[in-house]
Amino acid sequence: MTLYDLQHRRLSLSQWVSAYCYDAAWRNIEVEHYAYLRDRANALLLFSEITHEIRNFLVTEAFNKYQAYIHINAEAELTWTLHYQYDVLEGDSLVGKIGEGGHLYSLDHKLLGCVSDTPGVVPRIIKYVDYAPVVVGTLDGLQIHRPTGEPWRMNLRRNLNVQLWRL
Q: What is the pLDDT of residues 103-143, one digit of tens each?
A: 999 999 999 999 998 888 889 999 999 999 999 999 999 99
pTM for the whole structure: 0.82
Structural domain boundaries in the chain: 3-76, 85-157
The whole-angstrom separation of Cα 113 and Cα 29 is 29
pLDDT above 60: residue 159: yes
pLDDT band of residue 89 (cuts 50, 70, 90) is very high
**pLDDT tens figures, 5-49:** 777 777 888 899 999 999 889 998 999 999 999 999 999 999 998
| Per-residue CA distances from 92 to 23, 87, 89, 96 (Å) | 31, 11, 6, 12
- H helix runs in 8-117, sequence order: 11-20, 23-28, 30-46, 52-76
Q: How confident is the model at residue 166 (pLDDT cuts 50, 70, 90)?
A: low
